[in-house]
Amino acid sequence: MIKNSAIDKPSVHWHSLDADEAILRLQSDRHLGLSSEEAHGRVGRFGLNRLPPPRKRSPWTRFLLQFHNVLIYVMLIAAGTTAMLSDWVDTAVLVTAVFVNAVIGFIQEGKAEEAMDAIRGMLSLHTTVIRDGKRSEIEAERLVPGDVVVLASGDKVPADLRLVSGKGLRANEALLTGESEAVEKMPNAVRDDAPLGERSGMLYSGTLIASGQGTGIVVETGVHTELGRISSMLDRVPGAATPLMRQIAGFGHWLALAIVLMSLATFAIGVLWHGHPPTEMFMMAVALAASAIPEGLPAIMTITLALGMRRMARRKAIIRHLPAVETLGAVTVICSDKTGTLTRNEMTVQKIVTADHLFDVSGVGYAPDGAISLEGTLVAPEEYPELAEIARAAVLCNDAQHHRLPDGFWQVAGDPTEGALLAFAAKVGTDPVWERETAPRTDAIPFESEHRLMATLHHDHQGNGFIYVKGAPERILDMCDRQEGHRSIRSELDGEYWRLCGKDLASGGLRILAIAAKRTEISKSEINFTDLEGGFVLLALVGLIDPPREEAIAAVRTCHSAGIRVKMITGDHVDTAQAIGSRLGIGVGRPALTGAEIEAADDEQLRGMALAVDVFARASPEHKLRLVQALQASDQIVAMTGDGVNDAPALKRADVGVAMGLKGTEAAKEASDMVLADDNFATIGNAVYVGRGIYDNIRKFILFMLPTNGGEALVVLAAILFELALPLTPAQVLWINMATSSTLGLALAFERPEQDVMHRKPRDPRKSLLSWFFAWRVLMVSVLFMTGALGLFLWELERGASLATARTMAVSAVVGAEMFYLINSRYIYKSVLSFEGLFGSPYVLAAIAVCAGLQILYTHAEPMQALFGSTDLSPDEWLKVTLAGLFVFTVAELEKAVIRLLGYFKRVRHRTVR
């Protein structure tokens, strides 16, 4: 057993220890490994190499908590009100709606917890380990600290390992760092404060071995690994309420308080002032409450969001959590991962520098589609023989395989950089298969970080021998004494020229490789480092990059025009991050912020940094999470995009987590609110467009519904205060609210986003849903509703009509005014006095037709007359009802015209002041 093991001390930085010291601390042996008995004992001490399931609330607790929602309370109050009125049908409908809402929320919450399960499944199932001096294959969960693990190209790293030895070892750590390029691994120790992406002596659980082979000693398992730490962090991240839910909660509290106070005041006035019996006044107070409660709001909100979900799905944005549909419309900042999200995650050759020319290479990714140009003019590769020689070297000094999939996409097996060289060679017209058959490889020196090059020896069938090398420019330049120019003319090496060219390429964010060649004897069958000491001809410098997606560049511009800041958060080098950001239009002219600077800043400092800076480099999972939290603390609504496990905590904490559907990990998808089915950043812009339209539709519905309820409440309140006969009975109020208001209001859920929706600034999430403008609009239209309904009611009584006829006129006036006002409500500020405004929505026209039919049945059908106390109306009386609705329509349009005029004068005055 380990005594005082370093594994018990979380402060140990394994990457800063020499490999032998790490082995000594873990009391292991690099050649023999642990004994089987010792390994078994350590399993008992440290546990299995897997992530434990998180503590979960019981299903009953989760289900009951679905009812802890202000909208549910409003619906339950409505159900209680209808039950007191013995309206059991409406009561059953409302209770069913509450139950269905709770079931949906219960299912969605269960899915959100699957993020942990997705990460737990990322540990490899089996691995090769040395125990008792023998190699054997065991389940990865049986690994313990001190085990010696053997890895080769294609293996998944089963635990956190301190590298002991390696040959040509490179690991793809995009899962944790976001870097698309495989990183070199060597046993050397690094400084204590080295960021994760620069810990060359460490291999981390869940990452992939891209090439080479190596041996490492297990230093951390299970929850103590980097992957486990992210898992624990994800479990601690709380979900955030959406802006709309916060606004609706505030609105619901305000509305509930207003209804209770108004009902109590009405009851007190009737009993204490007018002397009415308490039982009669109780029913009147119930009628008032029934008229004021927006029964249709929760249902309409759910339907509107569900329709938005369908619209987004058609645009390749799959919504996992319903409220995220609306939240997208409120987003003020999009924090995006770079690799695979804003870029293609496919290395591409973009520049070829020769002794005489600078060639541009078009096309992106691994597809051999593209052309060669010189100073902006397309050229035929055969006119420049040096290109064929460069392509031949790129193919032969290369271990990758390049092939086309049945679906037409091109895939690379091997290092992404070598894949890019194969794609370039194909654009030149070089056939890799033919080249490899014509000049087969005899020997090779694989790439190793300490030598910074790869070399291969070839012999053709004409008796010629060649050595090709590629690697770091400064290393290759030292091996060259000549350079190859146009028409294969060779001259003395101009070192200063090549160094300046390399500097120019690097300033553009390109990764640079140098390629050189050397003839050798036909008898040579092995290649040694002594063969690399000189005599080479420099063929070219190659500039490569993981290019931005073209559609992402356009999407960034769209987001900026919509007032949305786009911030790029990546684990990449700062120079590369800035160069890619500039190409995308992100952070142009502003410095980038590194992970070390984020680490050094306190929360208050980070808030200012997060707002001011748009490019963040060398960011760890904690940094991403802190940046999201800092932006949210500054009242920003944050969408976070990503595809790796390292993005999962920030995806969960963001107001909208957006995962990539094609290249994203399951952990990222499960932690997100939305998944992009096409991995296209531009899809986010489309989703924001739909989301803003959804929020507009909810506002339109509230502005339509509240005046209806307010008008009814004012009618009932006026009758009580002035001791008039009740113009609307409780049953008639429910008829208006459930049979007509909800039918009409549903049409607004289908409204298309208005044309200027992506030219507005994001709405201020701090502002209440009920602004002063909303309050004014609701009050004004409520008074108009009351004027029409109460005026017709009193007019009919004055003319000697029966109470039943007067009440039928009042109900019909309210319903008629709703029909006209529904057309007004299609636009909050714009006039509807156009063909599109009046007739552009088939849903509005259909809703009005259905509502008109229901109201005719209410008025003239005998069963309805018996149920609601209605009576027939004459054509003259229907004309009066129509004129009352037209009155509401006309005044509402005039009010919008005045609002637009005031807004115009305000903008003119603002421009004049500026």
635-638 — which CB contacts under 8 Å span 24+ positions? 635/765, 635/766, 636/332, 636/333, 636/611, 637/243, 637/327, 637/330, 637/331, 637/332, 637/333, 637/762, 637/765, 638/331, 638/332, 638/333, 638/334, 638/335
Instruction: Yes or no: say if 418 and 398 are a contact pair by the CB < 8 Å rule.
Output: yes
Cα–Cα distances in Å, from 350 out to 340, 391, 405, 490, 515?
A: 18, 14, 24, 24, 15
Rounded to the nearest angstrom, the gap between the alpha carbon of residue 7 and the centroid of all alpha carbons in its chain is: 37
Dihedral of CA atoms 279, 285, 288, 292 in degrees, nearest 10, equals -140
Tokens of 207: 């990452």
Buried-exposed string 547-565: b where 16+ CB fall within 10 A, e elsewhere: bbbeebbebbebbeebebb
Q: Which of 647, 685, 684 is CA-nearest to residue 667?
A: 647
Tokens of 409: 């996409």
Tokens of 308: 């938005």
Ramachandran sector of residue 257 (left: φ over 0; alpha: ψ -120 to 50; beta: rest): alpha
Cβ within 8 Å of residue 846, ≥6 positions away: 747
Instruction: Yes or no: say if 711 and 781 are a contact pair by the CB < 8 Å rule.
Output: yes
- Measured CA to CA, the distance from residue 181 to residue 196 in angstroms comes to 14
What's the one-letter identity of residue 839? Answer: F
What's the one-letter identity of residue 914? Answer: R
Known catalytic residue at 337: yes
Q: Quick one: 754 exposed, middle or buried, by C-beta within 10 A (0-12, 13-18, 19+)?
A: middle
- The H or E element that residue 294 is part of is none
876-883 — which CB contacts under 8 Å span 24+ positions? 877/796, 877/805, 877/809, 878/812, 880/792, 880/795, 880/809, 880/813, 881/792, 881/809, 881/812, 881/813, 881/816, 882/816
Where do runs of H (alpha helix) occur along 508-545? none
Tokens of 47: 């546990």
- Measured CA to CA, the distance from residue 186 to residue 188 in angstroms comes to 6
Ramachandran sector of residue 541 (left: φ over 0; alpha: ψ -120 to 50; beta: rest): beta
How many helical (H) and strand (E) elements, i.e. helices and strands, does the chain have? 33, 28
Would you tell me how many other CB atoms lie within 10 Å of the CB of residue 622? Answer: 17
Instruction: Yes or no: say if 743 and 705 are a contact pair by the CB < 8 Å rule.
Output: no
- Measured CA to CA, the distance from residue 448 to residue 184 in angstroms comes to 8
Cα–Cα distances in Å, from 83 out to 255, 378, 503?
A: 21, 79, 79
Buried-exposed string 75-101: b where 16+ CB fall within 10 A, e elsewhere: bebbbbbbeebebeebbebbbebbeeb
Tokens of 361: 């290479």
Sign of CA dihedral 582, 585, 587, 589: positive
- Measured CA to CA, the distance from residue 466 to residue 73 in angstroms comes to 81
Expressed in angstroms, the distance from the first to the final Cα of the chain is: 76
Q: Single out the catalytic residue among 87, 147, 155, 337.
A: 337
Residues designated as active site: 337
